[in-house]
A and B are shown apart, each in its own frame.
Chain A
Amino acid sequence: MELSGAEIVVQALIDEGVEYVFGYPGGAVLHIYDAFFKQDKVKHILVRHEQGATHAADGYARATGRCGVCLVTSGPGATNAVTGIATAYMDSIPMVILTGQVPTPVIGSDAFQEVDTVGITRPCVKHNFLVKDLSKLAETIRKAFYLAASGRPGPVLVDIPKDITDPNIKVPYAYPRDIRMRSYNPAQKGHLGQVKKAVEAILGAKRPVIYTGGGVILGEGVQSLRELVKETGFPITSTLMGLGAYPMTDRQFLGMLGMHGTYEANMAMHETDVLIAVGARFDDRVTGKIQHFCPHAKIIHIDIDPSSISKNVRVDVPIVGPVASVLTDLVRLLKEHGLDPAHEELADWWKQIEEWRRMDCLAYDRNSALIKPQLAVETLYKVTKGELYLTSDVGQHQMFAAQFYPFEEPRRWINSGGLGTMGFGLPAAMGVKLAFPEVEVACISGEASILMCIQEMATCKQYNLPIKVLLLNNGYMGMVRQWQEFFYESRYSHSYVDALPDFVKLAESFGHVGMRVEKPAELEAAMTEAFAMKDRFVFMDVVVDPTENVYPMIEAGKGHHQMHLSPERELA
């Protein structure tokens, strides 16, 4: 079969089994778009801004575990995509980004819509390629998919000059199934000797804690993790990215840890003697001040990426390998040793944890005349019965959702954890909804975040994506305002959004349904009504208490034991 470069791009996507490509056309990719026009196997979703394309592909990848794909043009197309690429990179999301480039002969001449895409994206991709030879195009695309999805996943970019896609130049095409790269060999299995060391540490543990991150979900380690937790009877806490890997309503789950984690999770971290870290990277929002981090603990760390190990915190038992296979080995060896989960010290440890739990650190004013954001999230949980894919933007609403919407399954909670990208939620929800049209998909957001990618409401209209937006509208950049209140003596420098649109009319102008909710008593009925509109995109503008803060909170530079619970309840 002889194909042009443009046809090779499309055929490679078909051979890769790609369902959706999120993209935006432009000069450098016109040959490729023409090839798209002539087929109907891969569906192209036209976004309204390239950032939306990357977040939609990202949301699709997070929800399905498959590679997300986007296609953008050269120059501004590529630079607009950078935020979304960096977002995926920070959270290790498998994604392939195809970018058009100016024709090979004019590269470097400051041609129209030329940027050094490979140079600009180098620090925020797992790898990138500039295709200089048509005969290598298919192989390069195959490599991109292989790299993106294997080992520690991440975005991989392929920059394709326009002349490479010339419809008049054809070459023989065969899609390479097996790709070997001598320079790339991700770990296939953990070292058994190290796993045995971990078993020893676990058997000697008096106050153990399991601390899991997004890697458990990305590495499909959920089942073996759940088995480990049940087998050991140990308490488990999770980072923002790992929520849902273990059922959040289960008694053994202590809630999220870190800056806005629960009192019981953070205190358990501070007092633990054996910490079992799985697919987590000891991010600063999780550890607090490193010098105060888990001061009494022997640390076991399971991760696919050797460079994550001992990067921020020195660990005692490193295990490099795929989370799923290492956890399976660990559970098997523990069973052989016959660990008794009810041993006396563990029972004492649980007694202590239950005492911390009685602090009820997430308590808030349930009698408020204003809608508390926490109540809005709890109502969302009630109305959707926990059966929801929830995407989020970044800020207070993100933390409230993480605290008050208990996910039972992985891949249901979709948010930008590492980069903290405002504008992520709505386009990410489009990717999720396309992947799972039969399931409810909602986006929780704030009035500041949502405006960063609001144009994607048009995409939702065009492809009839009945997403529900839950806007917690407090008129502030809530998290910025909170920090200014705490650390800048309430000088609210530019955190107030002075000229907000009428979101109801805005949604209506895009052809959607808009609702405004202002009273706590109206909340449940309004949400029930919104979710009853199965085939409509509904925008719920919920006016919430503008001064509510996220608690508990550990200030930057403090340890896990130095939490603020609320203005009324300071710890000694």
Chain B
Amino acid sequence: MRHIISVLLENEAGALSRVAGLFSARGYNIESLAVAPTDDPTLSRMTLVTRGSEEIIEQIKKQLNKLVDTVKLLDLSEGPHIEREMMLIKVRAVGEGREELKRLTEIFRAKIIDVTDTSYVVELTGTSNKIDAFIQAVPEGQLVEVVRSGPSGISRGEKGLGL
């Protein structure tokens, strides 16, 4: 099962490597990991996506909680939540394909943020599935470069993950 887990970490040097080290040392899967400081400069928020059986996911959460730098943890997959990932994608845009790519961008409600005679850079935000779909839709041979942020997530409703 795929799980998306939010972790509030002390914004200390080495906190990120403790998390990364935990996953490699214990042989857990890590699909993506996104981390940045929050409104409180002493805290970082990490969103990580992992896969495993229920037993493994349980252990992952326990082990993450056990890290001294972990302040709070929430498994977003356990309740209603929103996920967004951002992608920057560079495509070859010449001839007929140029117009086609512009239409594709509109259909996906993406933005073209850089233009040259032969290329576009497109910015797209959405669920990971939507981003996969856009990549699939780019005609063969047109794709130059893909940069994905990995998903970030937040729970629905009024309750927040804070101190």
Q: Please report A residues at the B interface, Cβ cutoff 8 Å.
A: 118-119, 122-123, 126-127, 130, 132, 147, 181-184, 305-307, 309-311, 314
> Are A122 and B21 in contact, with the CB atoms below 8 A?
yes
| CB-contacts of B32-49 with A (<8 A) | none
Q: Does B156 contact A (CB under 8 A)?
A: no
With A182-B163, A310-B58 as contacts: A147 and B68 at CB distance below 8 Å: yes
Residues of the A chain whose Cβ atoms lie less than 8 Å from the Cβ of B25: 123
For residue B42, which residue of chain A has the nearest CB? Answer: A182
With A122-B18, A307-B62 as contacts: A130 and B13 at CB distance below 8 Å: yes
**B contact face: mostly helix, strand, loop, or mixed:** helix
> Are B66 and A183 in contact, with the CB atoms below 8 A?
no
Q: Does B55 contact A (CB under 8 A)?
A: yes
- Residues of B in contact (CB 8 Å), total 20
Q: Does B63 contact A (CB under 8 A)?
A: yes
> Are A183 and B71 in contact, with the CB atoms below 8 A?
yes
> Are A307 and B17 in contact, with the CB atoms below 8 A?
no
A-B contacts at CB below 8 angstroms, number: 40
> Are A183 and B68 in contact, with the CB atoms below 8 A?
yes
Complex-state Cα separation, A130 to B12, whole angstroms:
10
> Are B66 and A305 in contact, with the CB atoms below 8 A?
yes
> Are A307 and B18 in contact, with the CB atoms below 8 A?
no
> Are A123 and B68 in contact, with the CB atoms below 8 A?
no
Complex-state Cα separation, A118 to B18, whole angstroms:
10
- Cross-chain contact of B63 among A127, A307, A309 (Cβ < 8 A): A307
- Cross-chain contact of A122 among B14, B55, B59, B163 (Cβ < 8 A): B14
- Cross-chain contact of A306 among B10, B13, B65, B163 (Cβ < 8 A): B65
- The winner among A123, A305, A309 for most chain B CB atoms within 10 A is A123
The 10 tightest CB contacts between A and B, nearest first, are A307-B62, A127-B68, A183-B71, A306-B62, A123-B25, A307-B66, A184-B68, A307-B63, A183-B10, A122-B21
Complex-state Cα separation, A147 to B70, whole angstroms:
14
Complex-state Cα separation, A127 to B58, whole angstroms:
22
Residues of the A chain whose Cβ atoms lie less than 8 Å from the Cβ of B18: 122
Residues of the B chain whose Cβ atoms lie less than 8 Å from the Cβ of A130: 13-14
> Are B71 and A118 in contact, with the CB atoms below 8 A?
no
- Cross-chain contact of B59 among A118, A181, A184, A311 (Cβ < 8 A): A311
Q: Does B123 contact A (CB under 8 A)?
A: no
Shortest Cβ distance from residue B15 to the other chain A in the assembled complex, whole angstroms: 10
Complex-state Cα separation, A5 to B71, whole angstroms:
29
Complex-state Cα separation, A132 to B17, whole angstroms:
18
Residues of the A chain whose Cβ atoms lie less than 8 Å from the Cβ of B75: none
